[in-house]
Copies of this chain bind each other. A is one copy, B any other.
């Protein structure tokens, strides 16, 4: 299991690494949020321990950024212990929270607790980022999409659109929003390539594209994948 520890305080970084090494985890270190994002892009990280206060990019922002397309558990570290900070951290997408100074045993316990959800009994197999709603499921690790267990083959753009909508099932995205998130550039009108892709996706994941069960349109607002 690979754990990324992100803190600008080198001493704490080293201390945590020692505790985790001792438990048999492979530990990567980052001094700030940007470094963390880089490492996450390169290595397969299973858990992140992240300080909130850091230069360059703080832990909360980094967590938000990570959560945009990865489902890696995050444990927040902070010197503050007030409720408001705790709540903010958890709402930003953190999975757990530890205040400094921390008890090494508690750190280990929380690490294990978070990793437990992603290991299957018996093996140390990592879990993949699976997004599902109803009979629709996409596995971000393998890029496999299934509908009621049946695999469907999506093209890259189709996959990105469906992932965005499924990862945030229930939320409505305007066409422009979709364009921006997927193409990473602002949409310029006239714009109907998204509509074309939506059609193609529907052809593949819906029984009847005209009466979509998953990929719905909200007139005048945009598209969403139904939260089922």
Contact = CB atoms under 8 A, between A and B. Distances in A.
Nearest to A65: B124
Nearest to A157: B220
Interface residues of A, number: 59
21 contacts: A64-B123, A67-B122, A83-B105, A86-B106, A91-B112, A93-B121, A93-B126, A95-B113, A95-B114, A119-B227, A120-B166, A122-B167, A123-B168, A141-B170, A141-B172, A142-B170, A142-B171, A142-B227, A143-B221, A155-B219, A156-B219
A86 B68 contact: no
Interface of A: 64, 67-68, 71, 73, 83, 86-87, 90-96, 103, 105-106, 109-110, 112-114, 116-117, 119-127, 131-133, 141-144, 155-157, 159, 164, 166-172, 218-221, 224, 227
B218 A143 contact: yes
Contacts of A144: 170
A75 to B, nearest CB: 11
Nearest to A107: B87
A168 B122 contact: yes
Contact of A121 (B113, B167, B224): B167
